[in-house]
Amino acid sequence: MDIVYYLVQNTLPVAVALLLVALGGMFSERSGVINIALEGIMLCGAFAGCLFVHFIEKNSLPAQLIFVLGMLVAAVAGLIFSLLLSWAAIHMKADQTIVGTALNMLVPATVLLFSKMFFMSDGVTTNTRFYIREVKGLGDIPVIGKLFFQNTYLSLYIGVVILIIATIVFYKTRFGLRLRACGEHPQAADSVGVNVYTMRYAGVSISGVLGGLGGFFYAVGVMDGNVNGHTGVAGFGFLALAVLIFGQWKPIQILFASLFFAFLRTLAYSTTLIPFLKALNLNQDYYKMLPYVATMVVLAFTSKRSRAPKAEGIPYDKGTR
């Protein structure tokens, strides 16, 4: 039973990071802009957030307050960085895949340059302990308490709140309806007076905010508060894209997809604790490939029935019939 608790407790922070980034991707892609740059946005948020924490943690502020402040900085950084994509893809009608790729290359290089210049290292490290041993009161609840309120991070609860808000905004509001229309049939949206450019800017900006948050949550919850320009976010931005596709561009399915991938990753890093897998005596590295191999397999099998937003990737031009 302890193994189960351990796996769940370790899966959730990973899943939250994936979930937020994939939700961000959902807003961007369903508004019609492919966001390959999620990887870059994540790293940008992670670096900005951790850098902020690095400087502020000398003051004796409560750890969770620092976490929230760092999170906000990461969100703003992600937002600003995503504007580069919006501007190129929406305003200048550039090819979205190429812009995204360029942005992805830009961030790790910048992080390295910056870190070498100021810290003489490959990244930035922080020392604050954001880890929550146990949530007072709730941690004592049998089973549930152990699963969700012990050995975790604040990111988990923030992630749940964001998921709920995102789902409601997406399906219940005027904004959500218009955003989705722009990703499916921008001409239709335009003909009823919806400003396609504005909606797409909004979609990409939300992906910037959520991507930045997700990056920070990854740095804190998965990498113990460290960011490194070489390893970056270990392909989590791309994994989030896979989650997005596996989740069919829908929030609740994205939740389950991110849990699936996060669980595989946790499993891969916990093989020594599971007697059966330990007995196989395979090289650890094979297990670590698991989430990435699963991505390929899952996408190969689900892509046939997957239905991307119809107008995704096509710059909107009023003139086309």
Partner 1 sequence: MDNYIIEMLNITKVFPGIVANDNITLKLRKGEIHALLGENGAGKSTLMSVLFGLYQAEEGEIHKNGKKVEINNPNDANDLGIGMVHQHFKLVDVFTVLENIILGVEPNKMGFIQKKEARKKIMDLSEQYGLKVNPDALIENISVGMQQRVEILKMLYRENEILIFDEPTAVLTPQEIDELIEIMRGFAAEGKSILFITHKLNEIMAVADRCTVLRKGKYVGTVDIKDTTKEELSRMMVGREVNFKVDKSEAKIKEKVLSVKNLSVASEHHKNLAVNNISFDVNAGEIVCIAGIDGNGQTELVSALTGLSKMESGQIILCDTDITKANIRKRSKAGISHVPEDRHKHGLVLDYSLEDNMVLQRYWEPKFQKKGFIKKREVRKYANQLIEKYDVRSGQGPTTIARSMSGGNQQKAILGREIDKEHKLLVAVQPTRGLDVGAIEYIHSQLVASRDSGKAVLLVSLELDEVMNVSDRILVIYEGEIVGELDPKKIDVQELGLYMSGAKRDKSKGE
Using the minimum distance from each CB to partner 1, give the nearer residue, 148 or 249: 249
Residue 160 Cβ vs partner 1, minimum distance, rounded to whole Å: 21
Using the minimum distance from each CB to partner 1, give the nearer residue, 196 or 262: 196
Residue 50 Cβ vs partner 1, minimum distance, rounded to whole Å: 34
Beta bridge partners of 124: 227
Using the minimum distance from each CB to partner 1, give the nearer residue, 14 or 196: 196
Using the minimum distance from each CB to partner 1, give the nearer residue, 15 or 179: 179
Residue 272 Cβ vs partner 1, minimum distance, rounded to whole Å: 46
Burial 45-62 (b: 16+ CB within 10 A, else e): bbbbbbbbbbebbeeeee
Residue 186 Cβ vs partner 1, minimum distance, rounded to whole Å: 10
Q: What is the DSSP letter of 271?
A: G
Contacts of 78 (CB under 8 A, 6+ apart): 41, 42, 44, 45, 48, 208, 209, 210, 211, 212, 213, 215
Amino acid occupying residue 27: F
Residues in contact with partner 1 by CB under 8 A are 172-175, 177-178, 180-181, 184-185, 187-194, 307, 310, 318, 320-321
Q: What is the DSSP letter of 121?
A: S
Amino acid occupying residue 13: P
- Whole-angstrom Cα Rg for the chain: 20
Residue 88 Cβ vs partner 1, minimum distance, rounded to whole Å: 22
CA pair distance 277, 93, nearest whole angstrom: 50
Using the minimum distance from each CB to partner 1, give the nearer residue, 136 or 174: 174
Residue 310 Cβ vs partner 1, minimum distance, rounded to whole Å: 7
Q: Give the residue carrying structure tokens 């910056």.
A: 114
**Long-range own/partner contacts, residues 199-203 (CB < 8 A, 24 or more apart):** 199/31, 200/31, 200/32, 200/33, 200/86, 200/89, 200/90, 200/316, 201/86, 201/90, 202/27, 202/31, 202/175, 203/27, 203/28, 203/29, 203/30, 203/31, 203/32, 203/33, 203/179
Using the minimum distance from each CB to partner 1, give the nearer residue, 185 or 288: 185
Using the minimum distance from each CB to partner 1, give the nearer residue, 230 or 321: 321
How many Cβ atoms from other residues are within 10 Å of residue 149's Cβ? 20
Residue 99 Cβ vs partner 1, minimum distance, rounded to whole Å: 21
Residue 154 Cβ vs partner 1, minimum distance, rounded to whole Å: 28
Using the minimum distance from each CB to partner 1, give the nearer residue, 157 or 175: 175
